[in-house]
Amino acid sequence: MELKAQPPVENDSTEAIFKEIFLEDVYITNVLLSPEEIEARKQFLILKRRVYRTYPYARIASERLEMLNQSLARLKTKKEKKRFLKITEEYMENEFEARLKNLSRKDGQILVKLINRQTGQTTYDLVKNLKSSWSAYWYGKAAKFYDIDMKITYQPYNIQEDFWIEDILLEAFENRLLIEQPPKERIDYVRLKNIWKDKQKTGSE
């Protein structure tokens, strides 16, 4: 028998999202695990908490980016666009500044991957393409995450950690613990699982 203490449901209000309290997953089992299996499970649960912590940021970033692009398309002059981007930067800073400061370097790495999953762009490309006051914002946040690669991409077919992230997300969506937002590029989960089953059989990653 296996009992889990699950995180609370992700509410669609921004305030509720960042007041979530994550409980330790508790397992009651009569199966004796090896030290390696215990460590692997521990690392998976740590990753799970990081995904729950950072996914809401990536989802909201995707929504804001879509709104930003739609708004910019309606503006005619560079002056109007510059003013709008300045307002957007101020909004983003007021909305996320304090909360992002609480993320660790590893949290930041997961966030960068999830932003790529949700927007189809790397954090680096977002900065480069917008070339706006967002540049200062995202570079500032990235600097706080120390050695995070802003060009990192989400590769669940090739990188085991990303496969685990996808697995965590799908379970959370099914249990309505996180608000589902489709990835920018479709992920075939059946194919994905089969790929990793084959890799486990051959002992490769």
Position 197 in a domain = yes
Q: What percent of the chain has pLDDT over 70?
A: 70
What is the pLDDT at residue 15? 46
Mean pLDDT of the chain: 78
CA atoms within 13 A on the CB side of 90: 6
Whether pTM exceeds 0.95: no
Position 95 in a domain = yes
Position 5 in a domain = no
What is the pLDDT at residue 143? 55
pLDDT band at 51 (very low <50, low <70, confident <90, very high): very high
Cα(123)–Cα(182) distance, integer angstroms: 18
| Three-class SS state of 159 | coil
Position 9 in a domain = no
Domain containing residue 73: 14-202
Domain count, the chain: 1
Residue 172 contacts residue 1 (beta carbons within 8 Å): no
Q: What is the DSSP letter of 25?
A: P
Position 38 in a domain = yes
Residue where the block lists tokens 């199966």:
31
What is the pLDDT at residue 97? 67
Position 1 in a domain = no
Q: What is the DSSP letter of 144?
A: H
Position 126 in a domain = yes
Please give the residue that has the higher pLDDT: either 55 or 25. Answer: 55
Position 111 in a domain = yes
**Six-digit token pair at 32?**
């004796």
Please give the residue that has the higher pLDDT: either 62 or 50. Answer: 50
Determine phi and psi for 149, rounding to 5 degrees.
-85, 110
